[in-house]
A and B are shown apart, each in its own frame.
Chain A
Amino acid sequence: MKTKYILGILAAAVLVSCTDNFEDYNTDTTGLGDNEIVIEQMFKPMQHELFHDYQTAQNLGADAYAGYMMSPTPFQAQYNLNYAFVDGWNNNAFKGMYNYVLLPIDKAGKSGAREKAPDLWAIALILKVEAMHRVTDKFGAIPYSKAGATPTLVPYDDQKDIYNQFFAELDTAVSNLETFLANDGGTPFQSEDLFFNGDYAKWIKFANSLRLRLAMHIVKADAATAKREGEKAMAQPRGLMATPADDAARAVTNGTSDLYMISHDWDDNRINASILSYLIGFNDPRLSIYAQPATKPGMAGEYIGIRIGTAIPAKDDYKTYASINTTTTFTQTKAQQLMCAAESWFLRAEASLRGWQGAGDAKTNYETGVRVSMQQWGVVDGATVDAYLADDESTQVGYVDKGAKTDVNDSAPISTITIAWDETSSNEVKLERIMTQKWIAMFPEGMEAWTEFRRTGYPKLFPVVNNLSNGTIDTDIQVRRLAYPTAEYSTNGPSVQDAVSRMGGADNGGTRLWWDVDKANF
């Protein structure tokens, strides 16, 4: 009896007194609750994270596939750079934008940004399209319209539907921003803007240019939509990105750009033989701006890059090859580019070839593209640029890997394209010219460059030296996409399997995306 009585008191003492503070204890005071964040505070991270996992998500894939970069580091004997995919890298390429860009955009939406701050919502939509077109252009069908809607299985959207949603979202974004500017609401985004210092007019021009880029992506798959959206982009009152002041580059806020980190600090990135072969062949003044020469004994001072798929015995063997120029150009805090104004001129040039309304003259667009690019990279001497544009002889040079024991990495030139515009050329030649110059201008943004290479076949890039894809990727056709990460099969299996069943090929690097139609450019 006595025992029970005392037990009762003890139990009562515990139960009554003390669990009141448990919720306080289980609340981490070094963070904020959902209801304690202002919407603006979500925007810097989503801009910053556009380059999330840059090394594995882009540099060790798209940047090399675009002929821009190549790593001197033999991370593994078989990896993306010799077409044997590393699942973890592909997973990084897949997941980063969802977890770090779409998530805060989704949260901003749920916090009422659509209604409370339509201008901020417009920025979110532009960032969303920019982020996610880079994902769908790697994989094809991806979860998009339903992303974030359920905690488990999320269906995949076909790429066509995703592109249509992109266009619709850009419609909303531009409309919201135009309304905001019409009401002269000031520059409320200035303190959070990592691109344009709060200038919504530039955001609109970026959105318009993005629309033109996306429209061109699908020209072989859905010519009508491409034309409609392309013409819409070129008809926008504020126009497209026109001068380097319009360039969309994300400011570095964390002290060191991703590109600098992997190239300079980690010595994990060097310049690709392909881009150097054109820059050297064209006597391009951007050569020494983009690249710094090799330091390896026997080839010091020479612009010798590394060809994709080179068998690299040890990092020491190749890290002294020519690098991107981290000394004066791609410096520690250099903003990381997503789209340059020059690109929009080259897009217009191709639109001209395709007869899209509002595109203007192909030659003018092409030459303006080159001039704007030269201006962007500080080549200000007009005579130099004029001479460059008049050069109708220089062509790509071949590649000799002077540091290798054998000539297995070497290649003769594979393109005869020249610089000077020739109105008499066929559309196909004109396209190669435009695409080659666009490609040089877009450096170092390899993701878009890889997309455009796949779409048009230009510029002509040295194929992979060692292809370890087990026959899934054709060396000459080159890699068309990344494989879905196995994580999707294990966590979102039915959805990804459904997507693969409609893909028209196996889930490997040889299967073409929806917009990557295997047919002539014209």
Chain B
Amino acid sequence: MKTTFRIPLTVFLLLVCAYAGAQTVTGKVTSISEGSGMPGVSVLLKGTTIGTTTDADGNYTLSNSGLPTGTLVFSFVGYGTEEVEVANRTQIDVQMTEDIFSLGEVVVTAFGVKRSEKTVTYATQQVSSDELTRVKTDNMVNTLNGKIAGVTITPSASGVGGSSKVILRGNRSFVGNNQPLYVIDGVPVTNAGNSNGQPNSPFGGSTNVDGGDAISTLNPDDIESISVLKGASASALYGSQAANGVILITTKKGKEGQTQINFNSSIIASKAAYTPDFQNSYGRTTETASDSWGAAAAGTGDKNTDEFFRTGINWTNSISLSGGNEIAQTYFSYANTKATGIMPGNEMKRNNFMFRESAKFFDKKLTVDGSINYTSQEIDNSPAMGLYFNPLTGLYLFPRNEDIMPYKNQYEYALEKGYDRQNWYNNEDIRQNPWWVVNRNLNESIRKRYLMTGSAKWEFNKNLSLALRGNIDHLEDSYEQDLFSGTVAALVRSGSGQFILNTQTTEQKYGDALLTFTVPMESAFKVDGLVGTSITDSYVTGTSLGAGNGLKVPNLFIAQNTVPSGQVSNASTMKLNHTQLQSVFGNVNVGYNEWLFLNATARNDWSSNLAFTSNGSFFYPAVGLSGVLTDALDLPSVLTYAKVRVNYAEVGNTVPIYAPNPRNYLDPNTAAIVISNVLPFATLKPERTKTYEIGTDLKFFDNRLSVMFNYYKSNTFNQFVRLTPSAATLHEVGYINAGEIENKGFEFQVGYDVVSNDKIKWNTALNGSRNVNTIIDVASDRNINSFVLTPSNNTNYQSEMHVGGSYGDIYGYKANRDAQGRIIVNNDGSPSKNNAFQYIGNPTPKFAAGWTNTVSYGKFTLNVLVDGKFGGHVLSLTQAYLDQYGVSEVTEDARAQGGVKVNGVDADGQAVEGADPEAWYKAAGGRNGISEFYMYDATVVRLREASLGYTLPISNNVIKSMRVSLTGRNLMYFYKKAPYDPELTMSTGNGLSGVDIFNQPATRNIGFMVNVTL
């Protein structure tokens, strides 16, 4: 009713105004970030329905008698609304600022389909390119951190070019993938890492060096926007690949009627944000001892970390050229990134090329779009995490009264000493000379990625179109490790050094056909939808040359110089891992009177991983309903917009390959066949997640205040549980479908334009989320109530999942206590340890929040993002080691005050108040000590991003705009109790969360950026 009334009124008013003899205002609307004219911006005379939209160049003309004293309101999807008083002017140019929190009118949904926001029945959140490039970092995904409610981003502590773990609304799968599907321009791409995989042992390991993920290879300047589909309902159309949500990336393309050249240059300096607290008052125990439990001695160790860490520099230059007419558009870009890490030797070089061409044929009925993306990336000397090949063990545990400089200045002897060349004071496997590690334990990860995408869309008429799309995502990886002669003997299989070379090709091909339709009917109902089919085919192939028994000729790192360790070659053919997924899907949307919307989708998947089972395919449905209350009801005028939505979906997670069909393998030790010890899993079913979500989007005070809120609950069943059956079955590995993980929680986002006038604009936005993860069942029918995610491997960290617990629970050793809770102290002063692994904490934050402020004043723009992760507990094995070796400040304090203050009791029941520090920390610390003593509150509140931009007052025929900015990332911790940054992870896989084992410290980054538009 309301709508139908509006249109005649508008027409009437326009007629009246035209008659009255109009005043005219003209001007140009430009984007503050891109500097270019913005087409399609709505220009409205405030308080009226009089308005227009800008043309292709961003120009507008508006005539009305009320203009001279009125206020113009400029609005556009994804940008903050601008209000300007006309004040008798006839020319008003406006710069618009992107606003991630505005609830735009058009959102990108599955398969790249753009839909009117109000018809969407689930939560989506969009991030503009400006947000991604304002404060750059070497992995684009990390720039989303703190900006989207319900998205947890955990970067690997693996230096420049490292991968990142992205979890939407909690972990769902015991052993399967928990990360979202990445989709570029509607077509899924792979996010594969290199052949190293991620470590799942506290020791790390030589071949578990992170080589970065695929998504980090993208050039953020090529991205137009990112949409995050958090719930299963949103992602249901992508089927089993998208059980954990989808990150939809829309890339830039040439725009009709304008040519533009953009040049971006940024330089960012990084420094270690913290180092451990050391002591400098006590020396080593004896002349040959490796610990610092000796007599008081002046320490010289203060400089050690400064001598080792350096300032990392990230220098990124990118250029893009775009242009086109209404028939064809072209976009080309090139970016070059050179980054050095804070550890010597750690370096990344990356080149990105992108070419995209779009064209229309046959009277614009056929639209063809194609792009080629090529990335080459080289990462040198990614820091190893864990205890092996890590320079920080040797650096941090170095005796405090010894001078480390001789070992820095000369980390190796000259050749005449023979091949045992490392200059170091001991030869323990976990502790080498740090400079030896970074110079003589080298690694290199090289990646080349070709991503080719093409699509053709035929519009039969305005109600029916058919699109065919496809892509080939091809990655070539190699990983090389060169361990020089002189590396500690336990880590290499020969005194001559060791060589590893893995080459891997990953290819994912995708094709789909989509028929999109709108049912033409004159009714209160509107029906549209799509049906489609898709095929995804992927494989990974490669050869890995293992360490074997090291090298023959020292330090000649070539394949033919390696010595096989067993009876077979040390080169091995990787499993092909060929999987194919075929699908048929459909989606129908029914709208009623433009305010009530029903959305239903269905998909059926056929997976090759289910071959040899009785379950050939799987089906899942999703349904959602949304209503725009402000269009349906007469609500108070402060409420500009109110939408409620509810949805339910079921989706399956991909099943692992080969599980139903175990094979027998070549035994490298004997060159014969090892009988498979895996029980075949013939009844394998895909994991199934059932989820519902309710939510609302509200805007108040003429869109000045916006509020989004979601509540969701998801339960994942039929977990793929790997179990170790009783050895007496003779099998070591079995699989069952069992278990249930529940995730429930809420998310909210509030945006408010605090000040908005033509001088100052201040937008503030707060997002927050809480997810509660509960393991409801593991395999109760098999009497199994726990599941080890990361085995301890003889350390005091283990990640286990227990019924009633939650994902990533940390298990470790506790002290024995008496009935009063006093720690039992042994006669020698050491705490008595309980040898059973017990629950000691969970690293997942209880609540996460991000608070963004954007202030623009004239040509200055200030952005500040503060985020906080509250709750959770993490383990620092680093601190445990520092204490055990007597190098930490904690041990100094204990020694200075004559003992460790304890609330203890001895074997005879006598209270113990102080314990000998050496006895205490040697037993409590280290990798087999009492882990509960090294659990820390994981709460961190930080200044995540800050940038101050200035648009230079330059505008001429050559330069359209020029902008400089000063940026900062991870600038300061307002609150941090743990001795490291709990956000960093050793692994972006499922395990090893919440533990720091000599991880590289987080970095504090300050940069300068120039952006020129020609």
The answer to whether B673 and A32 have CB atoms under 8 Å apart is yes
Which of these, B426, B658, B728, B732, contacts A28 with CB under 8 Å?
A: B658
B923: nearest chain-A partner, CB-CB = A77
Known: A10-B513, A32-B673, A33-B664. Contact between A316 and B608, CB under 8 A? Answer: no
Known: A30-B574, A37-B673, A491-B725. Contact between A147 and B664, CB under 8 A? Answer: no
The answer to whether A255 and B566 have CB atoms under 8 Å apart is yes
B733: nearest chain-A partner, CB-CB = A99
Interface string of B670-684 (1 = CB under 8 A from A): 111111110100000
For this complex, into which size category does the number of interface residues on chain B fall?
A: 35 or more
Question: Would you call A27 an interface residue if the criterion is a C-beta within 8 Å of the partner chain's C-beta atoms?
Answer: yes
Which of these, A77, A142, A152, contacts B833 with CB under 8 Å?
A: A77
Measured in the bound complex, the distance between the Cα atoms of B429 and A433 in whole Å is: 43
Question: Would you call A154 an interface residue if the criterion is a C-beta within 8 Å of the partner chain's C-beta atoms?
Answer: yes
The answer to whether B667 and A45 have CB atoms under 8 Å apart is yes
A155: nearest chain-B partner, CB-CB = B728
Interface string of B274-303 (1 = CB under 8 A from A): 000000000000001111000000000000
Which of these, B290, B515, B728, B828, contacts A6 with CB under 8 Å?
A: B515
The answer to whether A254 and B670 have CB atoms under 8 Å apart is yes
Flag the segment in A100-108, A226-234, A442-450 that touches B: A100-108
Measured in the bound complex, the distance between the Cα atoms of B566 and A194 in whole Å is: 14
Question: Would you call A153 an interface residue if the criterion is a C-beta within 8 Å of the partner chain's C-beta atoms?
Answer: yes
Question: Would you call B56 an interface residue if the criterion is a C-beta within 8 Å of the partner chain's C-beta atoms?
Answer: no
Contact residues in A for B667 (Cβ distance below 8 Å): 44-45, 48
The answer to whether A32 and B612 have CB atoms under 8 Å apart is no
Flag the segment in B343-351, B497-505, B581-589 that touches A: B581-589
Question: Would you call A493 an interface residue if the criterion is a C-beta within 8 Å of the partner chain's C-beta atoms?
Answer: yes
Question: Would you call A471 an interface residue if the criterion is a C-beta within 8 Å of the partner chain's C-beta atoms?
Answer: no
A sample of 16 cross-chain residue pairs with beta-carbon separation below 8 angstroms, ordered by A number, consists of: A21-B608, A22-B607, A25-B657, A26-B612, A31-B663, A32-B665, A33-B663, A33-B664, A48-B669, A77-B929, A147-B729, A148-B730, A256-B549, A314-B291, A316-B290, A488-B728
Interface string of B343-361 (1 = CB under 8 A from A): 0000000000000000000
Question: Would you call A167 an interface residue if the criterion is a C-beta within 8 Å of the partner chain's C-beta atoms?
Answer: no
The answer to whether B783 and A490 have CB atoms under 8 Å apart is yes
The answer to whether B533 and A13 have CB atoms under 8 Å apart is yes
Within B694-739, the residues touching A (CB, 8 Å) are 723-732, 734
Known: A7-B584, A25-B578, A45-B673. Contact between A75 and B928, CB under 8 A? Answer: yes
The answer to whether A45 and B672 have CB atoms under 8 Å apart is yes
The answer to whether A25 and B670 have CB atoms under 8 Å apart is no
The answer to whether B288 and A316 have CB atoms under 8 Å apart is yes
B548: nearest chain-A partner, CB-CB = A255
Interface string of A49-93 (1 = CB under 8 A from B): 000000000000000000000000011111000001010100000
The answer to whether B830 and A77 have CB atoms under 8 Å apart is yes
The answer to whether A254 and B565 have CB atoms under 8 Å apart is yes
Known: A14-B583, A25-B608. Contact between A154 and B567, CB under 8 A? Answer: no
Measured in the bound complex, the distance between the Cα atoms of B670 and A45 in whole Å is: 6
Contact residues in B for A491 (Cβ distance below 8 Å): 723-726, 782-784
Which of these, B464, B608, B664, contacts A22 with CB under 8 Å?
A: B608
The answer to whether A11 and B566 have CB atoms under 8 Å apart is no
Which of these, B576, B616, B668, contacts A19 with CB under 8 Å?
A: B616
Known: A21-B580, A152-B729. Contact between A26 and B608, CB under 8 A? Answer: yes
B580: nearest chain-A partner, CB-CB = A25
Shortest beta-carbon distance, B568 to chain A, in Å?
10
Which of these, A6, A18, A31, A297, contacts B664 with CB under 8 Å?
A: A31
The answer to whether B928 and A95 have CB atoms under 8 Å apart is no
Shortest beta-carbon distance, B460 to chain A, in Å?
10
Contact residues in A for B579 (Cβ distance below 8 Å): 25-26
Known: A30-B665, A42-B675, A316-B289. Contact between A490 and B729, CB under 8 A? Answer: no
Kindly name the residue among B579, B584, B665 whose own CB sees the greatest number of chain A CB atoms within 10 A: B584
Kindly name the residue among B429, B572, B664, B928 whose own CB sees the greatest number of chain A CB atoms within 10 A: B664
B786: nearest chain-A partner, CB-CB = A490
A144: nearest chain-B partner, CB-CB = B728
The answer to whether B669 and A253 have CB atoms under 8 Å apart is yes
Known: A14-B533, A103-B675. Contact between A26 and B657, CB under 8 A? Answer: yes
Contact residues in B for A152 (Cβ distance below 8 Å): 725-726, 729, 782
Question: Would you call A265 an interface residue if the criterion is a C-beta within 8 Å of the partner chain's C-beta atoms?
Answer: yes
Question: Would you call B23 an interface residue if the criterion is a C-beta within 8 Å of the partner chain's C-beta atoms?
Answer: no
Measured in the bound complex, the distance between the Cα atoms of B516 and A6 in whole Å is: 11
A108: nearest chain-B partner, CB-CB = B675
Which of these, B676, B730, B828, contacts A98 with CB under 8 Å?
A: B730
The answer to whether A266 and B835 have CB atoms under 8 Å apart is no
Question: Would you call B49 an interface residue if the criterion is a C-beta within 8 Å of the partner chain's C-beta atoms?
Answer: no
Measured in the bound complex, the distance between the Cα atoms of B610 and A19 in whole Å is: 11
Known: A25-B580, A25-B611. Contact between A76 and B730, CB under 8 A? Answer: no
Measured in the bound complex, the distance between the Cα atoms of B609 and A383 in whole Å is: 72
The answer to whether A14 and B730 have CB atoms under 8 Å apart is no
Question: Would you call A313 an interface residue if the criterion is a C-beta within 8 Å of the partner chain's C-beta atoms?
Answer: yes
Measured in the bound complex, the distance between the Cα atoms of B567 and A386 in whole Å is: 43
Which of these, B611, B668, B730, B828, contacts A254 with CB under 8 Å?
A: B668
Question: Would you call A423 an interface residue if the criterion is a C-beta within 8 Å of the partner chain's C-beta atoms?
Answer: no
Measured in the bound complex, the distance between the Cα atoms of B611 and A194 in whole Å is: 39
The answer to whether A10 and B835 have CB atoms under 8 Å apart is no
Count of chain A residues with a beta carbon within 8 Å of a chain B beta carbon: 85
Contact residues in A for B671 (Cβ distance below 8 Å): 44, 253
The answer to whether A22 and B663 have CB atoms under 8 Å apart is no
The answer to whether A14 and B672 have CB atoms under 8 Å apart is no
Contact residues in B for A43 (Cβ distance below 8 Å): 672
Question: Would you call B922 an interface residue if the criterion is a C-beta within 8 Å of the partner chain's C-beta atoms?
Answer: yes
Measured in the bound complex, the distance between the Cα atoms of B616 and A14 in whole Å is: 13
Known: A23-B611, A26-B608, A102-B730. Contact between A7 and B673, CB under 8 A? Answer: no
Shortest beta-carbon distance, B720 to chain A, in Å?
15
Measured in the bound complex, the distance between the Cα atoms of B564 and A14 in whole Å is: 46
B531: nearest chain-A partner, CB-CB = A7
Question: Would you call B573 an interface residue if the criterion is a C-beta within 8 Å of the partner chain's C-beta atoms?
Answer: yes
Question: Would you call B903 an interface residue if the criterion is a C-beta within 8 Å of the partner chain's C-beta atoms?
Answer: no
Measured in the bound complex, the distance between the Cα atoms of B663 and A30 in whole Å is: 8
Contact residues in B for A84 (Cβ distance below 8 Å): 835
Measured in the bound complex, the distance between the Cα atoms of B926 and A217 in whole Å is: 42
Shortest beta-carbon distance, B403 to chain A, in Å?
20
The answer to whether B727 and A265 have CB atoms under 8 Å apart is no
The answer to whether B566 and A253 have CB atoms under 8 Å apart is yes
Shortest beta-carbon distance, B109 to chain A, in Å?
19
Measured in the bound complex, the distance between the Cα atoms of B518 and A2 in whole Å is: 12
Question: Would you call B535 an interface residue if the criterion is a C-beta within 8 Å of the partner chain's C-beta atoms?
Answer: yes
Within A472-520, the residues touching B (CB, 8 Å) are 487-488, 490-493, 495
Measured in the bound complex, the distance between the Cα atoms of B676 and A37 in whole Å is: 12
Which of these, B612, B673, B677, contacts A41 with CB under 8 Å?
A: B673
Question: Would you call B524 an interface residue if the criterion is a C-beta within 8 Å of the partner chain's C-beta atoms?
Answer: no
Question: Would you call B490 an interface residue if the criterion is a C-beta within 8 Å of the partner chain's C-beta atoms?
Answer: yes
Measured in the bound complex, the distance between the Cα atoms of B616 and A47 in whole Å is: 41
Question: Would you call B619 an interface residue if the criterion is a C-beta within 8 Å of the partner chain's C-beta atoms?
Answer: no
Known: A19-B582, A26-B608, A254-B567. Contact between A42 and B673, CB under 8 A? Answer: yes
The answer to whether A3 and B517 have CB atoms under 8 Å apart is yes
Measured in the bound complex, the distance between the Cα atoms of B928 and A7 in whole Å is: 61
Shortest beta-carbon distance, B488 to chain A, in Å?
10
Shortest beta-carbon distance, B302 to chain A, in Å?
25
Known: A22-B608, A313-B922. Contact between A77 and B730, CB under 8 A? Answer: no
Known: A6-B531, A28-B576, A37-B673. Contact between A487 and B794, CB under 8 A? Answer: no
Question: Would you call A305 an interface residue if the criterion is a C-beta within 8 Å of the partner chain's C-beta atoms?
Answer: no
The answer to whether A32 and B663 have CB atoms under 8 Å apart is yes
Kindly name the residue among A3, A10, A94, A487 whose own CB sees the greatest number of chain B CB atoms within 10 A: A10
Kindly name the residue among B426, B573, B608, B726 whose own CB sees the greatest number of chain A CB atoms within 10 A: B726
Measured in the bound complex, the distance between the Cα atoms of B489 and A265 in whole Å is: 6
Shortest beta-carbon distance, B368 to chain A, in Å?
21
B534: nearest chain-A partner, CB-CB = A14
Known: A14-B606, A48-B669, A75-B928. Contact between A154 and B611, CB under 8 A? Answer: no
Contact residues in B for A48 (Cβ distance below 8 Å): 667, 669-670
Question: Would you call B575 an interface residue if the criterion is a C-beta within 8 Å of the partner chain's C-beta atoms?
Answer: yes
Measured in the bound complex, the distance between the Cα atoms of B726 and A154 in whole Å is: 8
